[in-house]
Amino acid sequence: MAMLVGGKTNKLGDIIPVEQAHENIFGYVMMNDWSARDIQKWEYVPLGPFLGKSFATTISPWVVVPEALEEFKETIPTRAPLPYLSDPNPFVYNIPLEVYLRDL
């Protein structure tokens, strides 16, 4: 899942605190970062993957607004991230997903 940023703006260089980040999310899309495994395997030695990891990225043709996902919100166990990443109300979206593939 990827976020589209929009809505409330800030001045260039101003920090957006984690607890206010949700105010800057316009919506969510499904995203797939495709990998070309054959290229990745070939180029991996000696320096690691390069273009095989940046083969292609696609997003869904629809945008889901945050309000539509409210019923899927769940709290997560607290953990100790770096101080600037700490959020007083951490959550995740628990969204059941089914995929059907058809033979062309």
CA–CA dist 7, 29 (Å, integer): 16
Q: Is 89 helix (H, G, I), strand (E, B) or coil?
A: coil
Q: What is the pTM of this model?
A: 0.68
Backbone φ/ψ region at 38: left (φ over 0), alpha (ψ -120 to 50), beta: alpha
pLDDT band at 85 (very low <50, low <70, confident <90, very high): confident
Question: Where do the DSSP E strands lie in the chain?
Answer: 2-5, 25-29, 31-34, 56-59, 73-75, 91-93
2-6, 34-38, 84-88: least confidently modelled range: 34-38
**Token pair listed for 27:** 């919506």
The label of the residue with tokens 């062309």 reads 104
Inform me whether the pLDDT recorded for 71 exceeds 90. yes
pLDDT band at 65 (very low <50, low <70, confident <90, very high): very high
